[in-house]
């Protein structure tokens, strides 16, 4: 190849099938559902022209967004609170005050399940925070997740579970503080805000306590 | 040609082994992180191979679903990115064959334009001429040219991704360039 052709060829090669901007969020929704599964399935309405099937004929199911998952948790908490109060007339004995495992009464199953799920998701979010910060994030999606989890935290704080278990209450209060900071993170945030949140997490030993609570509550099946 | 990988893709936010372990435990956030680190480059390659936005989206999704499903078998002997790109190439080529078969069944398509028809075609547009010439290359040769000269992969990466020897990658590239040179000779003379 002579030089002229090389240069022209190179230029033309660069123009061969120039990829569009990848639809990262849309693709992730499908991947997340197909690999991780969807606790709650919603009918997708992403594209007006969508027939509900992809190019090779597979059914496209709705996406399992954090919002939907959290809405389900919040709903189960509300149902749990209502059922508990109606059936007992007073707040049920949800957990013991002991130093060992979180003890859950028999009628507290909805709380236990919802709390385990919520704590697991919060742990995942907070664990990803330092990496997200290093990568120039947290982005809007991260903030939205924090905001959704904050709503659930407040529901749990108002539930009998927190009223009777001081250890859980203390953890939830710390989480409320951290999630509130994350949820109100300005779009143009600097490193200082993230550093303060990370510092608070470390100082209060939040993530290890969170993990320990997940293990303890989820193993409390009896 | 400079490597086309972006800084974001090259700086993995967390140790990949940690992320992989978390994904195996069902951690969606870790899954998203690993996906974000690799998806743009995978999508770019897949699009260059299939040339269709919808198919590129499907094939990229299939690549990650398959990778996540088979993550337990990833031994870490090669870089995760190389392993992933190997899956992407396989998924894309198989997917394109399936699509081609479906389309052939639907309509009796004209014969695909071969290299000979490109060289004799009086196409004044170099870009469309080169596109037609690339499309007419044998699959392995085309793949190597796209990966090396367009997407900036090294011969070592191509060899690992395609399961071929580095020497084969080099000779395929030599062949591809020769065919392109031949196809584009008409444009130089003009």
- Taking phi over 0 as left and psi of -120 to 50 as alpha, with beta for the rest, B143 belongs to alpha
Please check whether residue B39 touches A, CB under 8 A: yes
> A120: helix, coil or strand?
helix
Among B3, B25, B29, which would you mutate to test the A interface (most chain A Cβ atoms within 10 Å of its Cβ)?
B29
**Angle, CA B92 vertex, CA B102 and CA A45 arms, to 5°:** 75
**CA gap B101, B95 in Å, rounded:** 10
The residue of chain A nearest to residue B57, with distances taken between CA atoms, is A27
B148 min Cα distance to partner chain A (Å): 11
Q: Which is higher by pLDDT, B82 or A190?
A: B82
Whether residues B31 and A35 touch (CB distance < 8 A) is answered with yes
Minimal-distance CA residue of chain B relative to A120? B27
Return mean pLDDT, chain A: 67
What integer pLDDT is reported at residue A102 of this predicted model?
56
**pLDDT recorded at residue B68:** 95
Write the residue in B28, B40, B48 that is nearest to A22 by C-beta.
B40
Banded model confidence at residue B39, pLDDT cuts 50, 70, 90: very high
CA distance A90 to A73: 23
Å between B155 CA and nearest CA of chain A:
18
Give CA separation, A139 vs A116, A161, A189, A205, B108, in Å.
Answer: 26, 32, 10, 24, 49
Rounded (10°) angle between helices A3-14 and B126-135: 80
Residue partners of B105: CB distance under 8 A and separation at least 6 = none
pLDDT for residue B60 is more than 90: yes
Give CA–CA dist B134/B145, Å, rounded.
Answer: 8
Q: pLDDT value at position A84? A: 47
Residue B61, judged by CB atoms within 10 A of its CB (0-12, 13-18, 19+), counts as buried
Percent of chain A with pLDDT over 90: 7
User: What is the pLDDT confidence band of residue B144, given thresholds at 50, 70 and 90?
Assistant: very high
Question: Which of B60, B98, B149 is closest, CB to CB, to A27?
Answer: B60
Query: Which pLDDT tens digit goes with each residue over B48-59?
Result: 999 999 999 999
Query: Mean pLDDT highest for which of A42-51, A207-216, B137-146, B178-187?
Result: B137-146
Rounded to an integer, what distance in angstroms lies between the CA atom of residue B14 and that of residue B30?
Answer: 9
**Total Cβ atoms within 10 A of residue A43:** 8
Task: Please report the DSSP string for B72-107 in residue order.
Answer: GG--SSS-HHHHHHHHHHHHHHHHHHHHHHHHHHHS
Contacting A residues, span 125-184, partner chain B, CB-CB under 8 Å = 125, 127-128, 131-132, 134-135
Cβ contact (<8 Å) for A19 and B56? yes
Q: What is the pLDDT of residues A100-118, one digit of tens each?
A: 455 556 556 666 777 888 8
pLDDT (0 to 100) of residue B187: 66
Q: Name the more confident of B61 and A179.
A: B61
**Which residues in chain B (7-36) have CB-CB distances under 8 A to chain A?**
8, 11, 13-14, 26-33, 35-36
Q: Which of the four pLDDT bands, split at 50, 70 and 90, describes residue B181?
A: confident
Specify the pLDDT at position A108: 64
Quote the Cα angle for A57-A60-B67, to 5°. 85
Mutation site for B-interface testing, chosen from A9, A69, A140, A146 by largest number of B Cβ within 10 Å: A9
* pLDDT range class, residue B105, cuts 50, 70, 90: low
Task: Give the whole-angstrom CA distance, residue B61 versus residue A33.
Answer: 11
Neighbours of A46 (CB within 10 A): 13
Instruction: Provide the pLDDT confidence category of residue B31 given band limits of 50, 70 and 90.
Output: very high
Chain B residues whose CB is inside 8 A of the A30 CB are 61
Closest of A111, A81, A117 to residue A95, by C-alpha = A111
Tokens of A217: 């509550």
- Best residue of A7, A16, A60 to probe chain B, by most B CBs closer than 10 Å: A16
Average pLDDT over residues B129-144: 89
pTM score above 0.80: no
Instruction: Retrieve residue B50's tokens.
Output: 């299939």
- Write out pLDDT tens, residues A167-183: 888 888 888 888 888 88
Q: Residue A57 has what pLDDT?
A: 37
Q: What is the pLDDT of residues A129-170, one digit of tens each?
A: 777 776 666 677 777 888 888 888 888 887 766 777 778 888
pLDDT recorded at residue B16: 86
pLDDT band at A121 (very low <50, low <70, confident <90, very high): confident
Average per-residue pLDDT in chain B? 81
Question: What distance in Å separates the CA atoms of residue B167 and residue B155, rounded to the nearest whole number?
Answer: 8
The DSSP-derived string for chain B is: ------HHHHS-SS-HHHHHHHHHTT-HHHHHHHHHHHHHHHHHHHHHHH--HHHHHHHHHHHHHHHHHTGGG--SSS-HHHHHHHHHHHHHHHHHHHHHHHHHHHS-PPPPP-HHHHHHS----HHHHHHHHHHTS-HHHHHHHIIIIIT---HHHHHHHHT--HHHHHHHHHHHHHHHHHHHHHHHH-
Q: Is the CB of B51 less than 8 angstroms away from the CB of A17?
A: yes
HSE, CB side, 13 Å, CA atoms: give it for residue B55.
19
Copy the structure tokens of residue B44.
């770019």
Look at A1 and B51 and tell me if their CB atoms are within 8 Å: no
* Residue B9's pLDDT band (cuts 50, 70, 90): very low
Highest mean pLDDT among A53-57, A81-85, B29-33, B177-181: B29-33
Q: A19-23, A179-183, B155-159: lowest mean pLDDT where?
A: A179-183
Mutation target for A interface from B11, B14, B27, B28: give the one with most A CBs within 10 A: B28
pLDDT higher at B93 or A221? B93
Cα Rg for chain A, rounded, in angstroms?
Answer: 23
Do A19 and B48 meet the contact criterion of CB atoms below 8 Å apart? yes
Question: C-alpha distances in angstroms, A36 versus A26, A31, A71, A123?
Answer: 15, 8, 18, 17
User: What residues of chain A lie within 8 A of the CB of B99, using their CB?
Assistant: 55-56
Q: What is the pLDDT of residue B143?
A: 93
Q: Select the residue of A4, A56, A132 nearest B188 (Cβ to Cβ).
A: A4
């Amino acid at each position: 190849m002579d030089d002229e052709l090389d240069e022209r060829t190179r230029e033309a090669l660069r123009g061969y099938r120039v990829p569009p901007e990848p639809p990262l969020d849309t693709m992730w929704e499908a991947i997340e559902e197909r690999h991780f599964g969807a606790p709650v399935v919603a009918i997708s309405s992403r594209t007006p022209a969508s027939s509900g099937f992809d190019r090779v004929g597979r059914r496209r199911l709705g996406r399992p967004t954090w919002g939907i998952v959290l809405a389900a948790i919040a709903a189960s908490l509300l149902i749990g609170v209502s059922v508990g109060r109606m059936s007992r007339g007073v707040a049920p004995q949800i957990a013991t005050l002991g130093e060992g495992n979180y003890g859950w009464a028999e009628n507290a199953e909805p709380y236990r399940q919802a709390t385990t799920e919520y704590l697991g998701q919060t742990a995942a979010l907070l664990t990803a925070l330092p990496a997200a910060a290093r990568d120039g994030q947290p982005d809007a999606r991260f903030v939205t997740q924090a905001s959704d989890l904050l709503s659930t935290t407040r529901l749990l704080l108002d539930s009998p579970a927190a009223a009777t278990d001081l250890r859980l209450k203390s953890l939830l209060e710390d989480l409320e503080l951290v999630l509130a900071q994350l949820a109100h993170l300005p779009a143009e945030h600097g490193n200082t805000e993230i550093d303060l949140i990370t510092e608070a997490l470390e100082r209060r030993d939040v993530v290890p306590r969170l993990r320990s609570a997940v293990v303890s509550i989820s193993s409390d099946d009896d | 040609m400079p490597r086309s990988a972006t800084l974001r893709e090259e700086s993995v936010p967390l140790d990949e082994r940690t992320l992989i372990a978390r994904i195996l435990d069902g951690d969606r956030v870790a899954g998203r992180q690993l996906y974000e680190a690799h998806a743009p480059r995978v999508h770019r390659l897949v699009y260059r191979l299939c040339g269709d936005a919808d198919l590129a989206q499907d094939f990229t999704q299939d690549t990650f679903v398959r990778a996540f499903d088979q993550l337990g078998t990833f031994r870490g002997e090669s870089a995760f990115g190389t392993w992933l790109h190997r899956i992407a190439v396989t998924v894309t080529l198989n997917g394109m064959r399936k699509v081609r078969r479906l389309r052939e069944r639907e309509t009796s398509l004209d014969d695909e334009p071969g290299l000979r028809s490109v060289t004799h075609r009086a196409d004044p547009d170099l870009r469309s001429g080169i596109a037609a010439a690339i499309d007419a290359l044998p699959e392995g040769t085309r793949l190597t040219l796209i990966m090396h000269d367009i997407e900036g992969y090294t011969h070592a990466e191509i060899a690992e991704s395609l399961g071929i020897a580095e020497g084969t990658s080099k000779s395929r590239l030599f062949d591809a360039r020769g065919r392109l040179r031949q196809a584009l000779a008409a444009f130089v003379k003009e």
